[in-house]
Amino acid sequence: MMPESRDHQQGYSSCYDCRKKCCWFFKKLVIFCFSQIGIVCLVVGYAFLGAAIFGALEEPNEELNRVMVGDLRNNTLKRLWQLNENLFLFEKRNWSRAVENVLLDFQKDIFKAVTEAGWDGRVEDYTGISDWSFTGSLLYSVTVITTIGYGNITPKTTIGRMVTIVYAFIGIPLTMICLANLGHMLSISFKVLYRRLNCNTKKRNSSNSTSDSSAKCLVMNSQVVKPELDDTEVAMAMSENTCAKVREIRVPIYVCCLLVVAYILLGTLLFSLWESWDPLKAGYFCFITLSTIGFGDVVPGHSLDSWSSQAKRITCALYLLFGLTLISMCFSLMVDEVQEKARTFGRWIGLLQREKN
């Protein structure tokens, strides 16, 4: 009985060690997923997952619709030929009435194929890039989780619509959290950059102010770093002092507006060259996209002869993501500036107490 009990104890200890390692790995995985890099990786992976799912669900239906429209066109041609062959309509009025009825039926069928079945206007033997290719599905996934939703490409199958609901229900909060975190992180970095640019400008204008500021910085550092503190406490004090300095930095609202306008102008130039749009149309598209309005009346690649390169769709998706991150950063900076101005106004009218020096 003794060897069996030892084997039992060894097996129990090995199972315990295995569960302990699994718990440690799961804990590290959760910590990584909720970190800055982890959330970005989750959003990117989620977008690629959606591209694979929607492409597999909707691309066969897209090809089937093209074949169906091709059959519809051929049947219409047969009906027209039967009119010409069977009916001796030598009078123009009788011939026009008969052909008009056939064309009206064809017009109704085409309207249903476009609005209900999602026909894109391409023929059944189309060999180019479909709307539901991987890049097209990736662009659709990005527009779903960013709540832009152009509406020019939508799922037509029942399962595709159900998957879109679940996909958006999970992806929208995840994307909003990611954009908020990236915007906050970029706002802190931009504050430091803006302060350095201001300091460099002041140094060029006056050398005396540089010496005074360096002297004040030495005095401040000597006050913060006390000799009786150890290395850990010194590092914590320095980090807290740095964070306090960053919070005190204020970026003017007009600088944030200039950043957004510059990014819109960059997109205007980009889409004007790619889609042969006039600047007003391209700028309208960029503004409607970055404001997440997404009417869908002007969309790149909506014409039949455009989007010959898949790189354009990926670039459009990257433009959306970077643009929304920039908008989130500017909103964060503007909120800090508006709050500070509101506090100043509250102190001026007496609603808030003035801070003691």
Residue 45: CA atoms inside 13 Å, Cβ hemisphere, count?
A: 7
> Which residues, 6 or more positions from 353, have their beta carbon under 8 angstroms from its beta carbon?
347
Sequence-distant (6+) residues with CB within 8 A of 65 are 113, 117, 118, 119, 156
19 or 26, which is more confident? 19
Contact 333, 186 (CB under 8 A): no
216 has a pLDDT exceeding 70 = no
Is the CB of residue 354 less than 8 Å from the CB of residue 345?
no
Q: Which domain holds residue 330?
A: 253-349
SS3 content of the chain, % helix, strand, coil (to 5): 80, 0, 20
Per-residue confidence (pLDDT) for residue 188, from 0 to 100: 87
227 pLDDT band (50/70/90 cuts)? very low
State yes or no: pLDDT of 308 exceeds 70.
Answer: no
Verify that 156 and 64 share a domain, yes or no.
yes
Task: Average the pLDDT over 226-239 and give the result.
Answer: 47
Cα-based distances in Å from 40 to 36, 177, 180, 313? 7, 10, 11, 20
Residues 40 and 178 in one domain: yes
Contacts of 81 (CB under 8 A, 6+ apart): none
Higher pLDDT, 162 or 25: 162
Give residue 161's identity as a one-letter amino acid code: R
Q: How confident is the model at residue 94 (pLDDT cuts 50, 70, 90)?
A: confident
**Among 116-120, 136-140, 313-317, the least confident range:** 116-120
Domain identity same for 179 and 271:
no
Boundary-marking domain end, from 130, 154, 183 = 183
Give the Cα separation of 130 and 56 in Å (integer): 12
- Triad 276, 279, 285: Cα angle to 5°: 85
Name which residue leads in pLDDT, 322 or 345.
Answer: 322
What's the pLDDT score for residue 29? 58
Distance (Å, whole) CA 94 – CA 89? 6
- Would you say residue 158 lies in a domain? yes
Task: Judge if 157 and 270 occupy the same domain.
Answer: no
**Are 47 and 173 contained in the same domain?**
yes
Q: Give phi and psi for 259, each to the nearest 5.
A: -65, -45
Same domain, 179 and 61: yes
Which of 15-19, 121-125, 148-152, 255-259: highest mean pLDDT?
255-259
Q: Are residues 176 and 68 in the same domain?
A: yes
Share of the chain above pLDDT 70, in %: 71
Domain C-terminal end among 151, 166, 183? 183
Query: Domain for residue 315, yes or no?
Result: yes
Residue 135: inside a domain = yes
The predicted pLDDT at position 322 comes to 93
In a domain, 89, yes or no: yes
Domain at 316, CATH number: 1.10.287.70
> What is the amino acid identity at position 46?
Y
* Residue of 55, 148, 178, 140 lying closest to 314 (CA atoms): 140
For residue 274, what are its two tokens?
A: 């790619």
Mean pLDDT, range 87-105, rounded to an integer: 76
Output the pLDDT for position 244.
56
Lowest mean pLDDT among 13-17, 188-192, 254-258: 13-17
In a domain, 3, yes or no: no
pLDDT of residue 90: 60
Per-residue confidence (pLDDT) for residue 221, from 0 to 100: 45
CA 134 to chain centroid? 17
Q: Is residue 212 part of a domain?
A: no
Q: Which of 24-28, 135-139, 301-305 has the lowest mean pLDDT?
A: 301-305
pLDDT of residue 24: 64
Structural domains in the chain (count): 2
Res 106 pLDDT > 70: yes
pLDDT-based confidence at residue 207 (cuts at 50, 70, 90): low
Residue 73 has pLDDT above 50, yes or no: yes
Position with higher pLDDT, 12 vs 103? 103
Is the full-model pTM beyond 0.85? Answer: no
Which two three-digit tokens encode residue 241?
């002092």
Give a yes or no: residue 190 inside a domain: no
Label residue 78 left, alpha or beta by phi (over 0 means left) and psi (-120 to 50 means alpha). Answer: alpha
Of 233 and 108, more confident: 108
- pLDDT value of residue 324: 93
Mean pLDDT of 308-337: 85
Average pLDDT of span 6-22: 62
Where residue 86 falls among pLDDT bands split at 50, 70, 90?
low
In a domain, 198, yes or no: no
Residue 173 and residue 271 in one domain: no
179 and 40 fall within a common domain: yes
Domain co-membership, 54 together with 167: yes
Q: Are residues 43 and 154 in the same domain?
A: yes
Confidence of residue 197 (pLDDT cuts 50, 70, 90): confident
Instruction: Round the average pLDDT of the chain to a whole number and report it.
Output: 78
pLDDT of residue 67: 85
* Same domain membership, residue 42 and residue 167: yes
